[in-house]
Structure 1
């Protein structure tokens, strides 16, 4: 009865470019600040705690005429079955009729839109002259964070990679990053940038201008006393209750922005500092889209510590999925099916 388009992972990888995804994510943050979107309640379930779980994020892009959802599952034992641990599926629907529009693989879209989010937090809150970037976590999403941040910060001279669980992962990341950026993410490689795997997180923190955390940590990895004035944090990994990547004391006195206020209070980096009364909801300066829309100001001075708490919303997935469908139409990609 309904004809819809299906895009597989290989097609989304071919279609999506980091610079256009950044622009799309930036626009959807702006729309959210102006009340042109809705984020629906998050659904999360653990089938086996610490081993297998799933979450459903959904929302409505009023101006784009669509709503939809992304279902992501994480099965830690999948590597033994030669399957990816993270599997995602995105569904889009027409908001005028409720009819399905399309279905896409969500893994690549999750990675690239998350990279765009972390970099946009830096764009609007970090010092423009930032030269040293520290990525905490060397997993799948880390490469997207590097690609997006380098796209927005041409003055970066050094990229440090730290992995709390396995230093070898950081080393392998550094060895492979040129190939990943050029061949997988289609980002030009600047030979003048130094990529370094680091063991000393305290020392690396102390000389970083921008720090992006992408880990599943439940205890702080970075302590407040290590942080120099003027540092910016984009905290990406804390996306469910109990997760925590940085010392709550870092947030005391920092200028803090979030991607979605209510979601971040319950599952983001600000969750635990609020529960411990280190900060209050009123201490949050606003949502990142409010800076983009010109409603409020981001960084106030060069000495200020700034934090962007990004838990990720379906809005980012939906706008990126729409971009993928638009580009697929131009390139005659995808498979049409009747449902």
Structure 2
């Protein structure tokens, strides 16, 4: 009788964008993303095959899913990119996360995934910089001025205290006053007048664009540079010039994903190391002064799930969100 009463009284928690924004903190996201990398390295968390397909509407639809059996964590994120949303006054990236009870298959929580995707990707990028960028890096060049570029630079400044200067390249090539204002007082920030010169003069390069093609010339990348690559997340996308991976020490979040949809798809046989293995101690990397390093970021389902679990717990503690009857 208890089982059927519980089934009849079951509820589904809904967390919208504003509630997610209020519940998340950068430090907690960083901790959750670090845990996801560790779980992946130790193979305690599973990452299931990614769905990433173009649509006739001009959008791209994807599903990332996985579980951590020992923690009772199961779920997926349905997400993608709809560029026409800009003309509608909306955000082109769209994502929804669902946590599922692994014992019953019942949905527990539906979460607006846009902020989660943004924040966990920024945190992953920040961890990549901490582990791979040259110590004492002072100058950064970033391609993009959108939501993801902003969070990448935010975590870079948060985690690399030596950074002093940021040059940016917008899609239009023009100055972006709002982007500059967001970082006022945290670094010297200005638009780059020459993208190759900006890359050549930077310790760190971050690419956070739609991935429409190489953003700079191969010869612009100098010895000692580190690159975080965010935009290549679908077959056919790229941001790096041909030949760069052959010159670099390559790091990925997941080998299979990187070779399928990341920057590594263009050189799939390149030797690489998973970032989580550095965090877990399964692997080590000693940076030589002239090493060029690349972190090819395709995003782990486990990152979405560990952050979603954090949100689920915070919502329960604070009685945040909308609870609707979901009997079965």
The two structures have a TM-score, normalised by structure 2, of 0.92
Q: 1:192 to 1:139 in 2, by over 3 A?
A: closer
Counterpart among 230, 236, 254 of residue 236 in structure 1:
230
Match of 1:310 among 288, 294, 297: 297
* Paired residues of 1:111 and 1:140 also in contact (CA < 8 A): yes
Matched, 1:166 2:172: yes
**Offset at 1:192?**
5.4
CA deviation profile, 1:204-251 (whole Å, cap 9, x unmatched): 101111111111223211222111211111111100111111113221
1:61 Cα deviation (Å)?
2.3
**Shift of residue 145 of structure 1?**
0.5
Q: Which residue of 94, 105, 109 maps to 1:98?
A: 105
Q: Could you list the runs of 4 or more consecutive aligned residues of structure 1 that deviate by over 4 angstroms after TM superposition?
A: none
Aligned length: 318
Q: How does 1:35-184 map to 2 (within 5 A)?
A: 35-48=43-56, 51-163=58-170, 165-168=171-174, 170-178=175-183
Q: By how many angstroms is 1:173 displaced?
A: 4.2
Alpha-carbon distance in structure 2 between the residues aligned to 1:78 and 1:234: 26
The answer to whether the Cα contact below 8 Å between 2:140 and 2:163 also exists between their aligned partners in 1 is yes
Comparing 204-213 and 328-337, the one that deviates more: 328-337
1:29 aligns with 2:23: no
1:292 aligns with 2:279: yes
Higher Cα radius of gyration: 2
| Matching residue within 226, 240, 264 for 1:270 | 264
> Deviations 1:13-63 (Å, cap 9, x if unpaired)?
1111112211210111011000111111111232227x2221111111234
- Measured against aligned partners, the alpha-carbon deviations of 1:95-134 in whole angstroms (never above 9, x if no partner) come to 2332221010011111111111111111111112111121
Task: Provide structure 2 residue ranges, at least 5 long, that are not aligned to the other structure.
Answer: 1-7
1:249 maps onto 2:243 in alignment: yes
Paired with 2:166 and 2:302, the residues of 1 have a C-alpha distance of 29
Please give the root-mean-square deviation of Cα atoms over the aligned residues, in Å. Answer: 1.7
Q: Distance in 1 between matches of 2:11 and 2:310?
A: 19
Q: SS state of the match for residue 36, structure 1?
A: coil
Residue 329 of structure 1 pairs with residue 289 of structure 2: no
SS of the residue aligned with 2:74?
Answer: strand
Are 1:22 and 1:148, in contact at CA under 8 Å, matched by a contact in 2?
no
**Unaligned residue ranges in structure 1 (runs of 5+):** 179-188, 275-279
